[in-house]
Amino acid sequence: THSTLEQGACQVDVDDLMATERSAVDFVFQDWGYRWNTCIVMLTPMGIFAHFRSWSGLAVFVVNFLAIIPLSCTMAKMAQQVSLYTGDVIGGITTATVGNAAELILSCIALKSSRVDLVQASLVGSMLSSLVLMTGIILVVSGLQHREQQVNAHVVTSNTGLLLVAC
């Protein structure tokens, strides 16, 4: 027996889907997510058009914000591919650079416009996000698995120092 599932213009071979090792979640995020990313990328030229046609600031922001999502996914995939060919060190540097590309661009534009306060706020926000938010998420998730945790005193000291700099 051979069964297919038709929905709109999409036809999914259920037997082939079940035969593969991918889960349904992987199928949704890889196949459907790729199609949505491709559609949303079209917002990039629309954002440029919106800026030059003097749309409202909110409309320009929303269009460009939505356009950034698939572009950042594409940049992350590119960084992973670079690390496959160049090794962990160059791949890590590329991933860190690509991961902070939006902040870097914002900082360059803000410095060009003499907005040092905006650059400082961006740096402090990035530090607080990395130190407080990410550390908190890690502690909560690991606390669900382990009742007691051991921490490295040197890491705690350096993180505390960075938090003092941020404040």
Residue 49 belongs to a domain: no
pLDDT of the residue at 8: 41
pTM given for the model? 0.49
Residue 143 belongs to a domain: yes
pLDDT of the residue at 26: 54
Residue 99 belongs to a domain: no
Residue 167 belongs to a domain: yes
Q: Which segments of the chain does DSSP mark as H helices, in order?
A: 14-19, 24-27, 33-41, 43-52, 57-86, 88-99, 101-112, 116-128, 135-145, 153-166
Residue 122 belongs to a domain: yes
Parent domain of 142: 117-167
pLDDT of the residue at 105: 83
Residue 161 belongs to a domain: yes
Is the separation of the CB atoms in 12 and 4 below 8 Å? yes
CB within 8 A of 12, min separation 6: which ones? Answer: 4, 5, 6
pLDDT of the residue at 37: 65
Residue 141 belongs to a domain: yes
Counting the structural domains of the chain, the total is 1
Residue 13 belongs to a domain: no
pLDDT of the residue at 3: 43
In order of 22, 51, 61, 121, 126, the CA distances from 134 in angstroms are 29, 34, 27, 18, 11
Is the separation of the CB atoms in 117 and 125 below 8 Å? no
Is the separation of the CB atoms in 71 and 44 below 8 Å? yes
CB within 8 A of 68, min separation 6: which ones? Answer: 102
Predicted confidence pLDDT, tens digits, the chain (167 residues): 444 444 444 444 444 544 444 454 454 455 555 566 667 778 888 888 998 998 999 999 998 888 887 777 777 778 888 888 888 888 888 888 887 777 888 889 899 999 999 988 888 888 777 777 777 787 788 888 888 878 778 877 877 777 777 66
